[in-house]
Amino acid sequence: MSNQQELWTRVDGYVEEKLIPADAALAAALEANREAGLPPIDVSPAQGKLLQLLARIQGAKRILEIGTLGGYSTIWLAGALPAGGKLVTLEYEPLHARVAEQNIERAGFGDVVEIRVGLALDQLEALAEEGAEPFDLIFIDADKPNNPHYLDWALRLSRPGTVIIGDNVVRNGAVIDGQDEDARVIGTRQFFDKLASAPRVACTAIQTVGSKGYDGFMIGIVEA
């Protein structure tokens, strides 16, 4: 670990100690994810708390999450829902979905979270065909090559005022390299291109550093 990364991690630890109370269900979810061999790519506690606060500020009653993994970020977001709220989360890998279901049940959100298993693009199309009500907040955190397509569906499943958040949009700075052949970088750049030409979305991106390294979030609001 570099000295810089060590510093970022220590500052994250300080923020968590001071501002983020320990939560047994969240800790158990991370442990269950490790035991199941899921990739350690969950949002950090500070990032999870940020997502929850954004959902609360938005007053979100309906949340869509594209990319569940083991349900860690799902639990954070579900914690922002008011009575009668609902969260739909999409996961491709059946193992990940099973672990997430157990984690979400343990956290007490089994009755408000619906996990849909399968290709996210198929599940998004199904939601549209079912006439799903617009979502108040949409969190995009799945396979990055499909980010431009996820944005298309997010707009279709939104309303004026919907908040859209995209994770991992800086990729250690690689996003500015137009010659990078990594499909995740290409997808992220196409995501930015689509946002830049989308008159319906007012948005920005913020760079982040911390225990998860150097990356960033896109945060936008649907205007029309």
Domains of the chain: 3-222 (3.40.50.150)
The helix (run of H) or strand (run of E) holding residue 89 is strand 86-91
Give per-residue pLDDT as tens, 167-184: 999 999 999 999 999 999
Q: What is the DSSP string of 108-158?
A: T-TTTEEEEES-HHHHHHHHHHTTPPPPSEEEE-S-GGGHHHHHHHHHHT-
- What is the model's pLDDT at position 49? 98
Q: Taking the CA atoms of the chain, what radius of gyration do you get in angstroms?
A: 17
Mean pLDDT for each 10-residue chunk of the chain (224 residues)?
A: 93 98 97 98 97 98 98 98 98 98 98 98 98 98 98 98 98 98 98 94 97 97 94
- What is the model's pLDDT at position 139? 99
- What is the model's pLDDT at position 1? 76
- What is the model's pLDDT at position 224? 82
- 149-to-23, 112, 190, 208 alpha-carbon distances in Å: 35, 26, 10, 24
Whose CA is closest to 141, among 168, 174, 120, 103?
Answer: 168
Q: Give the global pTM.
A: 0.97
